[in-house]
Each structure stands twice: as C-alpha cells, then as structure tokens.
Structure 1
Amino acid sequence: MKNIVLCFDRTQDQSGRRAATNAGALFALVESSPQQLTWYDAGAGAQPRGMNALKWRQTAAEAARTSVEEAYRFLVDVWTPGDQIYLFGVGRGASCARELARLLATIGVWHDRRDHLLDYLLDTYVLPRTERTAADWARVTRLAAHLTGRPDPAVPVRYLGLFDSVTIPGAARSAADHLPNVAAGRHAVAIDGGHFGERIRAVEEVWFRGAHCDVAGRPGACWPLADIPLDWVLDGAVRAGVRLRGGCRLPSPTEFDALAGSTHPLSMRKLPEDARVHASVELYVRAHPQYWRRLPARIEWADAEWLARGERLVPTGAPLPIAPATPRELAVAH
C-alpha cells in the first residue's frame, strides 16, 4: 500500500517563491518516493489580454478537462487497491481536484482500455459540457458497476485539501459536491474575496481573513495571512497520513500573522449564517472591532488550538534547529 498525492495548482506562468500558491507551497513539502508517488499540474493562468470572454471561458474549461484527464490517467497507471489518494487544489485547481474526486466516486479507477472505452468515459464525464444531476451520476455509477463487475466501483479519497475554490469558467454544473468517497478534507475560504463559488459540504469548510490571494497564496498576497490557511490545510493532510520531506520545517503562524495586513475595503462575499470562522480572525476582530460587520451574527470559531500546534512538522527524534528562512522560502525553491 502506498500514498498517491496529486496537486492542481494555478501558477499563472510565474516562478519564484513569491509567485507560489499555497497548493504549490504545500506540494513542495511533500515527500516523493516509492512509498508516496506524486503528480503536479501547474494549471492555466489568467485571461490573456485581447482574448474575448467567450473564447477565454472555452479555453479555461478545456484546460481544466485536460488537467483532470491527465491526473486520472496517472492514477490508472499507478493506483492499486488499498492505495491512499490525496488531492490538493487552489482556485480553479481546487475545482479540478473536486472533479477528480467526483470521478473516482462515480466510476472508480478504470483499468480497462479496450475499444477506447476509457477515452469515451473521460471525454463524456470529465467536466461535462451540459449540466448533470445527482441522478445522472447515479446512472453512470450503475453502468460502471455493471461493466466492471464490482457492486461499488468507487475509489476512496483519503484527504481533499482545497484553497478558496472558484468555479471553472465555461464548465457546466456537475454536482461535484456529492463526494461520498472523501474520508476527510479541509477547504480554506477567503472572507474578503470576490464572488464566492459553491459551498463544499463534503469537507470541513472554514473562513479566513483576507482576499482570494491571501488565502490561495500568489503574487500580491499578504504572506503572513497566507501562511495561516496553509498551516491549517497542511495540518489536516499530516493527520490524514501524508508523508513530508525529511527535515522540512514550517513553524506554525503566530498572533502577529493574524494581525498582519489591513482590512480590504470591499468584500463581495456574504458569509453563510452557519459559517465556521478560523480562530485567528478573532484576534483581528479584537483589534479592529468594525470587522465584525463581515461575520455572521453568531460565530463558531474553528481550529481553536492553532496557536498551540507549535512546530508540529518536526520529525520525531532529535530536534532540528530553526532555519533562518521564512516558511515560504523553506517550502518553495526560488
């Protein structure tokens, strides 16, 4: 039995430690070995100047389909029963990770390549061009069960880690939130972001202070803020069994990180009344009471022990010295 880690990033064709997203930073910490295979997709960038909106939507949707198909084919090549699958994604890449999880719940891992059946399944059911309902996917699952001879073709996903998932332009709704095969997961959502996509009820969803870039991580982010959701999603992955590179260090964020940056002047998101808000936001609210206006009337604080985690990524054994570099410099090569 081995681990298989797949990451859908959104680098926007930029490089350097300050261009990394939180998904990329997390992936850089993950061990790659015969005991833990890894797969990484850099993702598509932003809309190019001069490209009309319709063309861009079509291009973005096709790029996402290609990413999910390539990830699925990787699993076809390396997955065996009992392997633990871990999926990570950021922004539109988070939607790709969810789509792959849904595909695994619907048809499992299809090893049969006869008569181009696998090509047909991927072309038809990966980010379908027309809207599919839960009943549609149930019919596909029954067909897969009949063709494979397995009563339940679903393949489990051990952990689904997402950073501020946004919808893929040009992709039809596909009921990707129905993920009964996901054992555990965490979704970090930006309080001060733009238009919010779909809620993801299949995993633990927690709201963090900052704009999309401050939760997803990318150029323009407030890096102390970005490290807080990175720490939370990574903590869930470690608890779920992800192996990290030997000697890697990522000290947990402090109260100073929670107070970093300023309040974004405008937020297009309205938090659900039952939203769970990360406990780091409480520190900021105490210093900036006007921020209460962006939060639900009754707040459930999540991850109350975030300051007490300490350096929980230090391997057991002799303690390691704290490196002088920043957490992100440790996670991402220049």
Structure 2
Amino acid sequence: MEPTIGPQQAPKTFVLCFDGTGNKFSGDESDSNVLKIFRMLDRSRGTQFHYYQPGIGTYVTSTSLSSTGTIHRIRSAYLKAKDSAIGSSFDQHVMGGYKFLMRYYVPGDDIYFFGFSRGSYIARFLAEMLDYIGLLEAGNEELIRLAWKTFAKWQQRRGQSNQDQEEKKKLFNYMKAFRETFSRPISRIRFMGLFDTVNSVPRFESAWMQR
C-alpha cells in the first residue's frame, strides 16, 4: 500500500517595505510612495505577508513610548535628530526585517523588497546580508546580533593592502562557517523596487569609499 501524501503547501510571498528617513504613516497624501505601495498590497490571500518599517529617525525613544516627562521628551527628540543625521538605529532597522523573514520564511517562498532613501539602503544591506550570512532558523533570536556583527564587520572592511586582504579572507571564511553552521537555504530576492538610495551611515559609507 502506497503512503498517502498530503497536498503540497503553496509557496508564500513576502513583501517588505522600508520607508525613508523621517517618513511614517500619516494617512493622507503626504505618505511616501513606499506607504502607497504598501496600501495597495493584496490582503485577501492567506499566502501573502506584508511588513512595513517606518523610516530612520521616527521611533527612537529614550526609555519607552509611554514616557511623558520633560527630560524624556527632550532626550527622545535629541535621539531622533541624531538618528536622522547619522542613522544610529540602522542596525535595528536591518535586524527588524531580518527577524520578520526568520520567523515566517520557508524555502521556496518569494521575497520582494521596496525602499526609499535610507530605506532603500536598508533593503540593499539586508539583501546582501541574506546572501552572505543566510537566514537563521526560526527560534534562534539570540544569534541575530551575532549575525549582524559578523556581516557589519565585512561591510566595514577597508583598503587593498596585504594586511587588508588577509583580514578580508578571514572575515569571508568566518561568514562562510557561520552560514554553514546556523543558516538555512534562502532564495534570491525576486524583486527589489528601490527609490533614491542613500547610504549616509558613516561607518559603512566611509569604509565603502576606501575600498
């Protein structure tokens, strides 16, 4: 008697939208094109999953969203201004998208990225991170920070000297070992719709200019 095989699960589609610096939902015509695209996505199918991320400089707070004291408000305003200027929360934005895929993706699913300004750079950075580091198994949240640090070091490599090349080789081999040890297969990003990509994250921008 042949074993019965259940119906094959349809592949899922993941659409991740990363907004530009200072951009968030307003509910009117001032919303960015990324938000307008997000609004048009099909929510009637159970196989399509959507993720929207407000831009850098929009949700940095001093302690919590419920802080109301004057000092907290001043500190929150300062942190948001600093974030808008130098992208101090860039790592949180990249890891936010990574964590979303980590929780729900299975091999065979399709991934689409949309981004504007620094949100475009977040999408590009995340796509490269998935290429080099891979996607951790669901439930391994404790390793996300290590995955980030590993790829961030690679992106911050500089120069073409013999010492730089030796360091580059070590970093690459470490990433390869990390991927083979902890990550699962992931398809290439099917589509990336990026508008006006801006780096403006000093630690990565200056390293890129020296390579």
Instruction: Name the TM tier (shorter chain).
Output: 0.5 to 0.7
- Matched ranges for 1:173-188 at <5 A: 173=205
Secondary structure of 1:82's counterpart equals: coil
Q: Unaligned regions of 5+ residues in structure 2, if any?
A: 1-10, 59-73, 159-167
Q: 1:135 to 1:16 in 2, by over 3 A?
A: farther
CA distance in 1, matches of 2:28, 2:102: 32
Number of paired residues? 170
More relative contact order in 1 or in 2 (CA 8 Å, sep 6+)?
2
What fraction of aligned residue pairs are identical, expressed as a percent?
A: 27
2:115 corresponds, among 75, 89, 92, to 89
1:3 corresponds, among 5, 13, 19, to 13
Secondary structure of 1:19's counterpart equals: coil
CA distance in 2, matches of 1:38, 1:114: 22
TM-score by length of 1: 0.43
Q: 1:69 to 1:126 in 2, by over 3 A?
A: farther
Secondary structure of 2:114's counterpart equals: strand
TM-score by length of 2: 0.65
2:31 corresponds, among 20, 33, 48, to 20
CA RMSD of aligned residues (A): 3.6
1:291-324 per-position Cα deviation (integer Å, ceiling 9, x unaligned): xxxxxxxxxxxxxxxxxxxxxxxxxxxxxxxxxx
**Structure ranking higher in helix proportion:** 2
Contact conserved, 2:86 with 2:202, CA < 8 A, in 1? yes
1:139 aligns with 2:139: no
Secondary structure of 2:56's counterpart equals: coil
Alpha-carbon offset, residue 27 of structure 1: 1.4
Contact conserved, 2:56 with 2:83, CA < 8 A, in 1? no
The letter for the 2-side match of 1:159 is F
Contact conserved, 2:42 with 2:48, CA < 8 A, in 1? yes
CA distance in 2, matches of 1:174, 1:79: 33
- Matched ranges for 1:177-326 at <5 A: none
CA distance in 2, matches of 1:95, 1:84: 20
Residue 99 of structure 1 is matched in structure 2 by 125
Contact conserved, 1:108 with 1:154, CA < 8 A, in 2? yes
Q: 1:18 to 1:112 in 2, by over 3 A?
A: closer
CA distance in 1, matches of 2:28, 2:183: 48
The letter for the 1-side match of 2:176 is R
CA distance in 1, matches of 2:107, 2:101: 11
1:35 aligns with 2:47: yes
Alpha-carbon offset, residue 130 of structure 1: 7.0
